[in-house]
Amino acid sequence: METVLVVNAGSSSVKFEIFDLTTSGDPQRLIKGQMDGIGTRPRLRANARDGSTLIDHSYEPREIADVPAAISTTAKWLRNTQTFKLIAVGHRVVHGGPRYDRPVIVDREVLAVLEQYNSLAPLHQPNNLAPIRSLLALRPELVQVACFDTAFHRSHSVVVDHYGIPERFYAEGIRRYGFHGLSYEFIANRLRDVAPEVAEKRVIVAHLGSGASMCALADGRSIESTMGFTALDGLPMGT
């Protein structure tokens, strides 16, 4: 069975899903799971397609002290218990910088570029890139695709994209990037299904959690975001 793994590695958790590509129509989810509480109360949980529990196991904090340890332990469990053929991996990556405005296949050159943005999203970018780096070393032939939280906002107008600073700084990459784009893109697409009479109009969407922001949509496209050069701009958040 050919499958795709989707990974969202954050600062305190690693979420993952595995999809079956052999069925007709849209890929079917086989497994949904996460390792959370990294470094404090680590716990690996995963459920099958029918909702049944595949694993629910807690670890000592020293066993899963960081994201690489969480990735390693989760990968070991998958290898030992599942028999599917993995042909590609998709990753959520917070910052695509000025270069990437759409998903991209990641090789070592692309990874080096993305590492330049670590300081702009220090709680997320290094963790997002950790599984990519591990898989490049272990399975260099495996296709890995990075999907960026900044990409959805690249449709902003020139006025919205610029700060009131000299143009040379914009050329160096200091601009309003916006974040949570994968969430907003999903919402924009779902609006066309659940509220088509609204989806093509002007809509304000809120992404609320430990990280929070708002986005203005027009015809399903981002025209403004409360977040800018880094994810610190805009609404007060968890920290």
Q: What is d(CA 72, CA 74) in angstroms, rounded to the nearest whole number?
A: 6
Neighbours of 1 (CB within 10 A): 13
Side by side, the strands of the sheet bearing 202-207 are 202-207, 213-218, 221-225
What is the spatial distance between Cα 126 and Cα 114, in angstroms, rounded to a whole number?
Answer: 9
Q: How far apart are CA 185 and CA 216, in angstroms?
A: 12
- β-strand partners of 222: 217
Q: Please list, in sequence order, all residues whose beta carbon lies within 8 angstroms of the beta carbon of residue 233, skipping any fewer than 6 positions away.
A: 226, 227
Quick one: which H or E segment has residue 20?
Answer: strand 14-20
* Residue 156 token pair: 């902003």
Beta pairing partners, 36:
43
Say which amino acid occupies 206.
A
Q: How many CB atoms lie within 10 A of CB 11?
A: 14
In sign, the C-alpha dihedral spanning 77, 32, 180, 107 is: positive
> Of 50, 56, 101, 149, which one is the catalytic site residue?
149
Tell me if residue 149 is catalytic.
yes
Residues known to be catalytic:
149
